[in-house]
Amino acid sequence: MPPTGFSARTSAWRRWMLLLQRSLGRGTAEDRMRFEGRCHCGNLEVTFETSQPAAGIPLRECACSFCRRHGSTAVADPAGRLEVRARVAAEVSPYRFGLRTADFLVCRICGVFVAAVCDVGGATYATLNCNVLEARERFTQSPARVNYDGETADERIARRRRVWTPAVVRGWRAPASPPMEPG
Ligand SMILES: [Zn+2]
C-alpha cells in the first residue's frame, strides 16, 4: 500500500516544531548532550544530560576540605538532568558534614566520591564530580575557585536549587536522620 502522505506531513510538522522550539531558546531532548559515568568499581553509575556543549559548561572547584581532599571538580546544569543509579544501596555512604544539608555519595567499595544530592521542596538537586564521567576530557573550562564557607543553611539550599542539576537517584534513598561525621 503506498504511503498516504500523512507521515510525510507529520515529519515536516515535527521539523517545523523543532525549529520553533530552538528559535525560542527552548532545548529539546535532541539538543541535549548525554554523558555516562561511574565510580571506579561501577556500584554507582551516572547519566548527566546537559543543554550545553561539554567544552562550554562551567566547572567549579569548591574550596571545602572534603572536595579538596578528593580533588573533585564540580559540574552542574540547572537546565540539565542527572540520574544516579546505585547497584547495592548498602555500599553507598551518604556522608554529611558542615551544615549537613546534602548527602555526598561515596562508594564504600572503591572510595570514589560521585555526586552530592539534596532534597529541596520535594525535588532532588545534585552536583556531579566531573572526574567520574567517561568523557571528562571534553569538559575543558578551567574550574572557577569557589568558597561557600560564609553561607547560611538557607542561602546554601537556595544556591543549590538555582545552580545544581535536577536529579533522580535510583536504588538508594537518603536516610531519615543524618549520619554523624567522625570526630
Ligand atoms: Zn565504587
Q: What is the pLDDT of residue 183?
A: 39
CATH no. for 32-170: 2.170.150.70
In the reported structure, the alpha carbon of residue 171 is separated from the centroid of ligand 1 by a whole-number distance in angstroms of 14
Return the SS3 of 89.
helix
pTM, rounded to two decimals: 0.78
User: What pLDDT digit, counting tens, does each position of 62-90 carry?
Assistant: 888 999 999 999 999 999 999 999 999 99
Q: Cell 554529611 appears where?
A: 96
In the reported structure, the alpha carbon of residue 37 is separated from the centroid of ligand 1 by a whole-number distance in angstroms of 11
In the reported structure, the alpha carbon of residue 94 is separated from the centroid of ligand 1 by a whole-number distance in angstroms of 13
DSSP-assigned beta bridge partners for residue 50 = 33
Which has the closest alpha carbon to 101: 159, 158, 156, 172? 156
pLDDT score of 61 more than 50: yes
Q: Where are the domains of the chain?
A: 1-30, 32-170
The predicted model gives 23-43 an average pLDDT of 77
In the reported structure, the alpha carbon of residue 149 is separated from the centroid of ligand 1 by a whole-number distance in angstroms of 29
In the reported structure, the alpha carbon of residue 53 is separated from the centroid of ligand 1 by a whole-number distance in angstroms of 27
Cβ atoms within 10 Å, residue 9:
10
Neighbouring C-alpha atoms within 13 Å toward the C-beta of 172? 29
pLDDT score of 175 more than 70: yes
Q: What are phi and psi of 102, to 5 degrees?
A: -145, 155
Q: Which amino acid is it at 178? A: P
In the reported structure, the alpha carbon of residue 133 is separated from the centroid of ligand 1 by a whole-number distance in angstroms of 13
Burial class (CB in 10 A: 0-12, 13-18, 19+), 165: buried
In the reported structure, the alpha carbon of residue 161 is separated from the centroid of ligand 1 by a whole-number distance in angstroms of 27
In the reported structure, the alpha carbon of residue 113 is separated from the centroid of ligand 1 by a whole-number distance in angstroms of 9
